[in-house]
Amino acid sequence: MALLIKPGRDAAENWIKTITAAIPDLDCRIWPDIGDPEEVKYVLANELPDDAFAQFPNLKFVAGTAVGVERILKNKSLPADIPVIRAANPERAATMTGWALHHVLRHHRHFAQYEENQTAKVWEHLKYLPPEDVRIGVMGLGNLGGTVARTLVDLRYDVAGWARSKKDIPGIESFAGPEAFEDFLKRSDIVISILPNTKGTFKLLNRERLALLPKGAYVINAGRGTLLDETALMEAIDSGALSGAALDVLEVEPPADDHPFWDHPKITLTPHYACAGRAVYGAQVIIDAIKDMRAGKPLARVVDKSEGY
């Protein structure tokens, strides 16, 4: 039996080294050198060509190399009965949290303004607002969002979270479902999105919903660019309704050279960099899944295809 790997940012060899150390008899192959397609039982990839899965008659599961699996789910040749497994990587939770905290602190503690003041040789103590008075809303309370939210609580911020269902996380007010979304936005001075790309999240932050945020609110998006109406965001910032945004994801990546976000003084961009994780930490999901399947046990972390995550 073989595992076919189409790596993302981390080299395939790094996945192979970790996986074969735990499962020495596993034949690992690197896309596009698939060998005999009938021997391929497992696929590890972020995306494959639309006709790729049709050639694997003995496929047992597909595992993602990235947090989002929408590209796998959209593949036209993926059989309906083949489970897709979500990635899990503790390093990703740590790097995402670090990125989010950087932008929360940069905004709340005026660090961008202090950088400008240094260049202008201005020695000025800007107004300090206690973190208890800063209401932060985290959209998505899974492994990534939950880690971000708990860390913000440790830093004494007033934190709420919004998700599909209620979450019981100490110190975090939980909002759940569409009926609670407006109230969640109305209390969020800083809103952080770590949601996946699904039918339910497409343009979730549109013009009407951005208008529900408190005046001067700040938007941080590290989930998917499809969640945010970019035109509405810029209009809200330019009008003064919002104070700015930090974006790690856009509708089209990379953005065109004439995209207005490049030069906007109140928008900070990073190139899909917030969440990073090496194969050595992510491979355990694959190892566990193969061992469970060999033992006849049910798979963990299986994606709900109807929900998209």
- Looking at the annotation, which residues are catalytic? 224, 272
Give the whole-angstrom CA distance, residue 15 versus residue 17: 6
Work out the number of other CB atoms within 10 angstroms of the CB of residue 250.
19
Closest CA to 9 of 102, 92, 93, 83: 92
- Locus of tokens 């597909």: 62
Closest CA to 87 of 273, 306, 301, 293: 301
Give the whole-angstrom CA distance, residue 208 versus residue 202: 14
Contact (Cβ atoms closer than 8 angstroms) between residue 224 and residue 197: yes
Contact (Cβ atoms closer than 8 angstroms) between residue 205 and residue 228: yes
Give the whole-angstrom CA distance, residue 206 versus residue 229: 5
